[in-house]
A and B are shown apart, each in its own frame.
Chain A
Amino acid sequence: MGSAHSLKCRECSARYPLDASYACVECFGPLEVCYDRVPITRDSIESGPSSMWRYEALLPVAPGAGHRPGLQPGLTPLVRADNLAAALGARAVWVKDDSGNPTHSFKDRVVAVALENARRLGFTTIACASTGNLANAVAAAAARAGLESVVFVPSNLEAGKIVTTSVYGGTLVAINGTYDDVNRLCTEVAAGRDWGFVNVNLRPYYAEGSKTVGFEIAEQLGWRLPDAVVSPVASGSLLTKVDKAFREFTELGLVQGHATRMFGAQATGCSPVAQAFRAGQDVVRPVKPDTIAKSLAIGNPADGPYALDVVRRTGGAIADVSDAEVIEGIGLLARTEGIFAETAGGVVVATYRKLLAEGLIDPAEEVVLLNTGDGLKTLDAVQPTHGPTFTISPSFDDFEDAYRQVES
């Protein structure tokens, strides 16, 4: 299994073999993959595949993952966002645009690692609880790999995310409940089925896939780390894994040590981690979500305590923004950079603006904003505020009249 050798409880350090388990028998703590240190250089990475598998030596997968059936995600654009920076009065802003993945979200990365482990462990069905993006990624990856899929989502998801899951085949189960209800059900279903639930019994492997976002940022910046990263927070896993990626690259000597400050972004209607941050607490009190940012609508975030640890250790913060600010954030990024982000990306842009305004990020800091998904999947959010500038008959004079009014 490459350089991975065991699972370890993050809470009590109990050790387990690399099987399909995710919670510590002793204390229920989450399990994390442990590795042997491997020789890895910038050259060995740069000569690897043009996908996230260029970092496979740092992931819990057997060598050659890029040659096995899968979606081959990763190596998405890191866009220098000078127009956005100018609009916000900031010096240097980059957007890591993970809408460029095969199913248009960062979830293809985590599923790719989970899929490798599902195959290794002999599962013929992969499953998940999802707020939408993961649903797309699991159904598509299963199709490519020739596995069955069973995907569980809240029934009130955006229509786009239902269609873009269903189209890949597999079983799509809509639950009349919140994501947290879906997640709970999946935990119970996983206990009695011989399925690889990517974010339940395969979660220790799955979560490691998010490190590749951090690895790519460092490599694409020219083998260095940014001053700050603003990450959306749903379960809190992505934020903690990007931080872990930066620490691993630093320990391996691939980048100069640089203390990147990690910032988290939530929608006010589902902001349990931001609330805990403001209250100075290290436990997260669950909430019942009510926001248009449905991909972030996890009221009981599994990695919330770890996200809090990371932002406090790195000198960052977690803040939240209203749904109206989310929509403005989507529009701002689209108008300035030609990147159409889903609601989670709008949350990140709006939160960055707020953190600048509150002085928590300095405009001189070089910041990377994570756009984790594609705006085409959450059209419902922006449809009411975006449409034709004007609608006219096919008449030259009508056009001239109407356009003059727009110009003035």
Chain B
Amino acid sequence: MSVNVRIPTILRTYTDGSAEVSAEGGDLREVIANLDEQFPGIAARVIDEAGQLRRFVNVYVDDDDVRFLDGLGTPTKDGASVSIIPAVAGG
């Protein structure tokens, strides 16, 4: 299943400056693993040593914060849109 991933500015060094890339995977964990195959090292920027999403990263699948869904286990349907966004804004 192919999904569209929006890459934040601070990770675009991995994607040759691309703001949007395609990735494969049936859930978020698989999508991030596939991103890492395409852009080695990118997964470690998003996921910590314990295998969890870093606490200052927000990830959205089709506009829903995955922490309201199943976290890394959130399903990603074909054509879904995944956004990775720094969490430290606002307030």
Contacts and interface: CB of A to CB of B under 8 A. Distances in A.
Contacts of A200: 89-90
Contact of B56 (A28, A179, A183, A186): A28
B91 A305 contact: no
Nearest to B10: A25
Contacts of A129: 89-90
Contacts of A24: 10, 56
Contacts of A305: 55
A289 interface: no
B88 A203 contact: yes
B68 to A, nearest CB: 7
A11 B89 contact: no
Interface in A12-47: 22-30
Contacts, number: 87
B26 interface: no
Contact of A28 (B6, B19, B45, B83): B45
Interface in A312-342: none
A187 B13 CA distance: 18
A286 B67 contact: yes
A286 B91 contact: no
B9 interface: yes
B65 interface: yes
Given A27-B54, A184-B60, A302-B89, A286 B10 contact: no
Interface residues of A, number: 38
Interface string B16-36: 000100000000000000000
Nearest to B13: A25
A300 B85 contact: no
B86 interface: yes
Nearest to A285: B67
Contacts of B90: 129, 179-180, 183, 186, 199-200, 235, 298, 302
A45 to B, nearest CB: 27
B68 A199 contact: no
Contacts of A199: 89-91
B91 A187 contact: no
B60 to A, nearest CB: 7
12 contacts: A23-B10, A23-B86, A183-B89, A184-B83, A184-B85, A199-B89, A203-B89, A236-B91, A286-B67, A298-B90, A302-B87, A302-B88
Interface of B: 6, 8-10, 13, 19, 45-46, 54-58, 60, 65, 67-68, 83, 85-91
Given A199-B89, A199-B90, A302-B56, 12 more contacts: A22-B88, A23-B56, A23-B86, A27-B54, A27-B56, A29-B56, A186-B89, A186-B90, A188-B83, A237-B91, A286-B65, A302-B90
